[in-house]
Amino acid sequence: MTRITLALDAMGGDHAPTVVVKGAEIARERFPFVDFAFFGPEPQIQPLLAKAPKLAKVATVHHTDVVVAADARPSVALRAGRGSSMRLALDAVAAGQARAAVSAGNTGALMAMAKFALRTLPGIDRPAIASFFPTARGESVMLDLGANVICDARNLTQFAFLGEAFARTVLGLSRPSIGLLNVGAEDQKGREELKEAAQMLRDSQLNAQFLGFVEGDDIAAGRVDVIVTDGFTGNVALKTAEGTARLISGFLKESFRASLLARLGYVFARPAFGKFRERIDPRRYNGAIFLGLNGIAVKSHGGTDALGFANAIGVAVDMVVHGFLDRIRADLAHAPSSPQPAVAE
């Protein structure tokens, strides 16, 4: 396999640069064909690489002292963060020196910079944030998860194209099904832009894969492979699901501690529980994907550990290896529903 280079923002996230370097070390074992370009302060990164000699062999360090603060406003980050580790990682992708960028930094800043550095794909007005997660039937992808708090029918339709291409290339589904998140499955329900988007999808080449409206409980049920929604609703839905999973895990732990017998039961059930814990482990689904840009950018959760960061790297690698960008470009070229030229932002 031809080698590919990934650009890593070494200073993004709560435990940077340690988690970034350790995550890359895990990813290196999984993906021996990847070279890693670290962007950040050399005096902090080199000592970490010295402890990971195998990684050091496939790593380069691109020094900068500028770091985007975790709470920086996107507009401020965009103006003041030109030489930052985050921005330089994205610039490397824009310049073709890296195939994808991964950062655990400030989401808003990363999206603003990614839009500026990579530009949106032809046929796409606004990029979206996507993520995949476990369902009763396998895995689904949902977007937008927060890039656009208000979306019109055209945005939603474009998100459907982006999500479908992602599910096809990265999740490996041959004809992913698509649903629009709404408050009822009936055609007359919900907001106007949803009814309009439904019509646009029925008129597009995605018609046969579009199953209409889905509801909140259809997300975890896996009723469709791609859930399309605006960034406000998607963000609330994703975080509500995460919070609910945490609550139930907490209740479960309490139950096992409630009595001696329950503790004993836990000991017996423990091996089987390993799989359960793995299935709902948020680190497994770490890596929010910025879709709709002329380049691949993946956002890791800021609080994740090395394993979680390695999984975010894995998402970026999958997108490169499976040629996501070429596929979505080809799809959009034939999309009758977004014939207008892209609006550069």
Catalog residues that contact a second copy under the rule CB under 8 A.
71, 73, 134-136, 146, 149-150, 181, 183, 186, 188, 190-191, 215-221, 229, 231-233, 235-252, 254-256, 258-259, 261-262, 264-273, 275-276, 279-280
339 three-class SS: coil
Q: How far is the CB of 231 from a second copy (least distance, A)?
A: 7
Q: How far is the CB of 113 from a second copy (least distance, A)?
A: 18
Q: How far is the CB of 3 from a second copy (least distance, A)?
A: 38
Instruction: Please state, in angstroms and as integers, the Cα–Cα distance from residue 86 to each residue in 65, 67, 172, 285, following that order.
Output: 11, 7, 30, 22
Run of H or E residues at 133: strand 128-135
Q: 4 - beta bridge partners?
A: 34
Closer Cβ to a second copy, 79 or 334, answer by number: 79
Q: How far is the CB of 315 from a second copy (least distance, A)?
A: 21
226 three-class SS: strand
Amino acid letter, residue 247: L
* Cα–Cα distance, 171 to 289 (Å, whole number): 13
Closer Cβ to a second copy, 92 or 153, answer by number: 153
* Cα–Cα distance, 171 to 168 (Å, whole number): 6
Sheet containing 138-143, strands listed edge to edge, beginning at the edge strand earlier in sequence:
59-63, 34-40, 4-9, 100-103, 296-299, 288-291, 128-135, 138-143, 226-228, 178-181, 210-214
Run of H or E residues at 143: strand 138-143
Instruction: Please state, in angstroms and as integers, the Cα–Cα distance from residue 242 to each residue in 159, 280, 286, 313, following that order.
Output: 22, 9, 12, 21
Q: How many residues does the chain have?
A: 345
Closer Cβ to a second copy, 117 or 153, answer by number: 153
Q: How far is the CB of 73 from a second copy (least distance, A)?
A: 7
Rounded to 5 degrees, φ, ψ at 264 are: -65, -45
Q: How far is the CB of 160 from a second copy (least distance, A)?
A: 17
Q: How far is the CB of 206 from a second copy (least distance, A)?
A: 22
Cis-peptide, bond into residue 318, ω within 30° of zero: no
Closer Cβ to a second copy, 73 or 175, answer by number: 73
Closer Cβ to a second copy, 262 or 330, answer by number: 262
Q: How far is the CB of 335 from a second copy (least distance, A)?
A: 27
